[in-house]
Amino acid sequence: MTTSTLTAVDRLLDAFRAGHGVPAALFAPGAVLDATVPGWRFSVEGPDAVARQYSGWFDLPCELEELERHPVEGGEVVTYLQSLVDQGVPYAAHHCHVLRFDAEGRIAGDLFFCGGRWDAARLAEMAAAQHAASVAARHA
């Protein structure tokens, strides 16, 4: 019989995917979210404040595509492309979390980067640019 224990990061990512709220219990007392979002940087402190901020951002079910997890000393770096549908419109966003853990494995800090939320028109524009670049590279 194999037993698997979900880490705080596993549970955080599951909460993001579900879009029904992020539990404060994932975060250590004094946890800090230091967020860089398009055109702004801010931070919130404390498990309730961090959970509330993430619950507001991840309030719809989503997929986490291109998910990569890299353990580092005392934490983990997580990147993904979030894709979701909001009122019938597809969106995507590219995120990076540099996470630190406390001794109990809770999230003590998250240095978070978001490239912005892209709608269907922007996604199509990026796909066309990617395609043009790959065609040009093949013919170079």
Q: Is the pLDDT confidence value at 117 over 50?
A: yes
If DSSP codes are grouped into helix, strand and coil, which group holds residue 57? Answer: helix
pLDDT range class, residue 138, cuts 50, 70, 90: confident
What pTM value is reported for the model? Answer: 0.86
Q: Assess whether pLDDT exceeds 80 at residue 100.
A: yes
Strands (E), 60-130: 62-72, 75-86, 89-101, 107-119
pLDDT > 70: percent of the chain? 96
pLDDT at 129 over 80: yes
Residue 33 pLDDT exceeds 80: yes
Q: What's the whole-number average pLDDT of the chain?
A: 92
Can you tell me the distance from the alpha carbon of 9 to that of 26, in angstroms, rounded to the nearest whole number? 8
